[in-house]
Amino acid sequence: MDNPDAVLMAWLEREELLFRRLERHIVAGRLRSGFVGGDDSADVDGFLAFSLSVQNRRKSRAGQSLEHHLEALFQARSIRFSRGAETENRNKPDFLFPGHVEYHDPGFPPALLTMLASKSTLKDRWRQVLPEAMRIPEKHLLTLEPAISENQTDQMKAEKLQLVLPAKLHETYRDSQRSWLMSLDDFVHLVSGRQDR
C-alpha cells in the first residue's frame, strides 16, 4: 500500500466528490418544491430546519467517513485494533491498539498500548479526548484541521496529546509547530513497531 497520508487524502477527496454530487441531487429536489406555508407565505422555519439538517448531515458524514477510512487503512496494513471499545467511565476512544483485550489486561505493558482519536475538525473539542483511555498517558489525535494556533498546540503538548495530520496539511502550520506534528505514516510506523515487539 502507498503512503497512508496520500491514500487517506485521496479516499476522502473522492468520497467528498461523490457525496456532494448525490447531495446536490437530493437537495435540489427539495429546493425546487420550495418552502411555502399553508397560507402561501414563506415557510422560514421549514427552510431553516431543512438547512440545518443538511449541515448536520455533512458534519456527521465527515466524522464517520474519516473513521471508516482509517479503519480500512489499518486493516490493509494488518494493524490490530479495536474501534469504539469501552474504557474507563464508559469512554469509547475511536481506536485502541492493539485492542480492547490488551487494554483491559493489567499485565499488558501500557507502553505498548496506543490510543487514536479522530476528529475531522477540532475547534476546542480536542479536550474531549484526554479522559478516554486512562492507561495510556500519551494520546494521539488525528485531524484534518489546518493551521491550529500555537497556543492550542502548546496546550496539547502540555496535556500529552500528540497531533497527527496527513503530511499534506503540515505546511499549513508554523515552522515552530511542524517538528512536533506527526504524519499518519509516522503513526502507522509507531503502532506497527509496538505490535512487532
Catalytic residue numbers? 103
- β-pair partners for 142: 118, 164
Residues of 142-163 as b/e, b for ≥16 C-beta within 10 angstroms? bbbbeebeeebbeebeeeebbb
Can you give the C-alpha Rg of the chain in angstroms?
20
Sheet containing strand 82-83, edge to edge, reads: 82-83, 95-97, 114-119, 139-143, 161-165, 182-183
Q: Could you tell me which residues come within 8 angstroms of residue 152 by beta carbon, excluding any fewer than 6 positions away?
A: 122, 124, 126
CB 66 within 8 A of CB 120: yes
With the CA atoms of 176, 126, 139 and 99 taken in that order, what torsion angle do they form, in degrees rounded to the nearest 10?
Answer: -140
Q: Dig out the grid coordinates for 106 from the structure.
A: 493489567
